[in-house]
Amino acid sequence: MSTIGIIMNGVTGRMGTNQHLVRSILAIARQGGVRTADGSTLMPEPILTGRDARKLEQLARAHGGLRWTTDLDVALSDPHNRIFFDSSTTTARAGFVAQAVAAGKAIYCEKPTAISTSEALRLAELCERAGLRNGVVQDKLWLPGLRKLAMLKAQGFFGEILSVRGEFGYWVFTGQVADQPAQRPSWNYRAEEGGGIISDMLCHWRYVIDNLVSPIVAVSCLGMIHVPERVDEQGRPYRVTAEDSAYATFRCANGVICHFNSSWSVRVRRDDLLTVQVDGSEGSAVAGLRTCWVQHMSATPKPVWNPDVDSPIDFRGGWTEVPTTTTYDNAFKVQWELFLRHVVDGTPFPWTLREGIKGVQLAELGVQSWKERRWMDVPAL
């Protein structure tokens, strides 16, 4: 068995702690590591880095006494630590990544990789010029529901895909009521700190649509601040400067139209926090995070518009759930295992920082579309 040190920077936040540290790296350690090409086992050994010593110490202690330090240079100088992972704020990411590149570490980071397309390109080129293996988190590709959609497409279930509709979001508490604390950090709602749902979610929709449907070639987007005031982590009210909702339409290279609503100011009355409906000439499917329901042309009912009587059709009853025929692991963990093998064995890993530029580009064009109230072409990078 061999070990590999992983610098985990900025993981004291919700996503970094839950998905990357606990459900990915520590879960990989609990299962006995990752099997490598030569048949041996690779065991990850995280070291937590960040600015807040109290939070780092508490997190490290809560998980068995992990290594931690507030001095990133010390962690970067240790040759045992071969991977640098960043889950800090978007505005700080570029500086951290550049520092880790200078230290010769493999780079893996959350999305968006930067606050602008030009900055994302600069970071990708830094890694490429240094010859360093690198990757960006694109976790939704491994969600069971979306994997089932990809399977249906590969089997030709849809016929010709006509359109895709996505609904994402939930109500994020404002923090103004003590018994309903906010479940997202306040920087998400501050444009000056890299917040906003457009930059957060259009990065996801880019790789989801590119992989599931076809490359995006144009975007029209409207952002809104529906809740103008919230309360921060110190109990202080603040004015929201970043959009909490986005309504975006995408045109794909193959002519398919995709529309995705994303909101932190919506209450859920659907199957899941994310639902994606794909309508095709031969059949339709609706996927959540883990489940997927289908309706074939042969089972499609014939509705007739009549608002004066209750519908005689049970619309939900005409759908069939796609059975689960394999084991689906945590989506973040699956990609982490692939990246670890990529670093050690050189196995293919197409989800590079260069690929991550596309998400930043789409978000940037989405904001521009909103501000200028027009469609924006999405040029090839």
Per residue of the chain (381 residues), what is the pLDDT tens digit? 899 999 999 999 989 999 999 999 999 999 999 999 999 999 999 999 999 999 999 999 999 999 999 999 999 999 999 999 999 989 999 999 999 999 999 999 999 999 999 999 999 999 999 999 999 999 999 999 999 999 999 999 999 999 999 999 999 999 999 999 999 999 999 999 999 999 999 999 999 999 999 999 999 999 999 999 999 999 999 999 999 999 999 999 999 999 999 999 999 999 999 999 999 999 999 999 999 999 999 999 999 999 999 999 999 999 999 999 999 999 999 999 999 999 999 999 999 999 999 999 999 999 999 999 999 999 998
| CA nearest neighbour of 7 among 90, 118, 99, 89 | 99
**Cα dihedral value 117, 93, 137, 348, nearest 10:** 80
Which pLDDT belongs to residue 104? 98
Q: Tokens 């996503």 sit at which residue?
A: 15
Distance CA(253)–CA(379), nearest Å, equals: 11
Distance CA(316)–CA(286), nearest Å, equals: 11
Distance CA(256)–CA(248), nearest Å, equals: 14
Angle subtended by helix axes 117-130 and 353-372, to nearest 10: 170
Which pLDDT belongs to residue 200? 95
Helix, strand, or coil here: 374? coil
Which pLDDT belongs to residue 335? 98
E strand or H helix that includes residue 357: helix 353-372
Which pLDDT belongs to residue 151? 98
SS3 content of the chain, % helix, strand, coil (to 5): 35, 25, 40
Amino acid identity of residue 342, one-letter, is H
Distance CA(284)–CA(78), nearest Å, equals: 52
